[in-house]
Amino acid sequence: MVTRALSVSFGCLLASLLRVGAARAEEPGPRVLHTPSSTHAECQDLRVQATVEHAEQVKTAWLVYLHEGEAREVPFRRAPEGPYLATAPGREVCGSFAYTIEIELLDGARVAAFAARDAPYQVALYKPREQEREAALAARLSNRRAVVSTSFEYADFGATSAKPAPSAPPATASAPASISDRYYRVEAGYTYRMLGAVAEFGLRGGAVRGTSVVPGETDPSKRAVGLNYGAPWVLLRATDWLHVEATTLTSVTEVGFSVGGGAAVMIGDPWGSKFTLGLESVQVFGTRAYSRMDLPVGRGAYLAPIVEVTDMPHADRTGVRLLLEGRADLGQGYGVKALIGYQARDASSGGIAGGVGMTYAF
């Protein structure tokens, strides 16, 4: 009886040991659960999420990929948006991108958990619409994003009769003086084309010199007017066919420091056919409102009729300017423009306008 009981006990113990061994043999090892993305925006950070089962058996999980022929390894970290996260920086996700996920076990061995180094998972990269749009515009502009420009303009309003001062005696009021109302302007500028939400920005600077019917001024020797100015500006894209330009201006006039600004709305293509409506004002010096329509007349050539209403420079009344500007692309980044027109402040008097300019894009 005792022998039989011992045999039964030994048999039960052996069965228990065999079951434990079998259970340990069937104990699952670590594995990575990962749902890959088939496409991704080019040159944007690629965030790879994964779940690691039986993480207690894993020392580290790695995102492995090639960049410029060199293997890069990024460790997975716990993240709020997922159990584990590894991020490949956007500068290394350009052209083509393929990756694998490896886990490092407690004994230091490396195991491929998703894809493999000799057969990595390929991600199809695409350019976001904004990047495609910018690339297309840059190609159209021959990748010449920076532009320097110079221009000269002369405007003659003719012999304008000065309005008498409110306190002037009647004799003076009956015989107003005629003033040589004219000015010239020289300007230089720099433009950088970002071609995105900020389409362009730049800086203009120049000088204006002339004589004008200064309000309330009767001394002919004090009719000289002038302006030295600097004007930073920016062109913003609302849609592909609508842009808004904003300008601030600081200047020194013949009477001291002054500030100003302006705004313009462009409907159409900023670098092609468009309609522009704008307003600009400088403290003391005056205000101008204008419209222009840029029309193509040939390959790289445009004509722009311009209508401007202005009391610049420092005049006592507004005048009307009717102008025509032509510009042409000469190739290799060079461009030229010319301006002709007529303006007047009085119906009985007026004068010509003319100007030239040159640009170089690089």
pLDDT in tens, 228-282: 999 999 999 999 999 999 999 999 876 789 999 999 999 999 999 999 999 999 9
pTM to 2 decimal places: 0.71
Residue 9 pLDDT: 47
Interatomic CA distance for residues 95 and 295, integer angstroms: 39
CA-angle at 225, arms to 222 and 228, nearest 5°: 145
DSSP bridge partners of 122: 98
**What does pLDDT average to in each consecutive run of 10 residues of the chain (362 residues)?**
46 48 57 92 94 91 94 92 89 95 94 95 92 90 97 93 59 60 96 96 96 75 86 97 97 84 97 97 94 95 98 91 97 97 90 97 97
- Site of tokens 């925006």: 41
| DSSP secondary structure string for all residues of 230-275 | EEEEEEEEEETTEEEEEEEEEEEETTEEEEEEEEEEEEE-TTSSEE
Token pair of 246 as six digits? 């904003």
Burial label for 176, CB within 10 Å (0-12, 13-18, 19+), is middle
Interatomic CA distance for residues 166 and 147, integer angstroms: 48
Interatomic CA distance for residues 97 and 290, integer angstroms: 52
pLDDT in tens, 162-205: 666 555 555 444 445 678 899 999 999 999 999 999 999 999 99
Residue 71 pLDDT: 94
Interatomic CA distance for residues 155 and 181, integer angstroms: 9
Residue 159 pLDDT: 85
Interatomic CA distance for residues 100 and 113, integer angstroms: 8
Please report the domains of the chain, with CATH numbers, ordered by start residue: 29-126 (2.60.40.10), 134-361 (2.40.160.40)
Residue 165 pLDDT: 55
Helical residues (DSSP H) of the chain, grouped into ranges = 2-26, 129-140, 170-173
Token pair of 311 as six digits? 């009391």
Residue 115 pLDDT: 95
SS3 content of the chain, % helix, strand, coil (to 5): 15, 60, 25
Token pair of 268 as six digits? 């159409």
Residue 20 pLDDT: 42
- Site of tokens 């209508």: 307
Residue 82 pLDDT: 67
Q: Are 158 and 356 in contact (CB under 8 A)?
A: no
Residue 163 pLDDT: 66
Interatomic CA distance for residues 61 and 103, integer angstroms: 4
Q: Are 72 and 64 in contact (CB under 8 A)?
A: yes
- Site of tokens 């000289």: 224
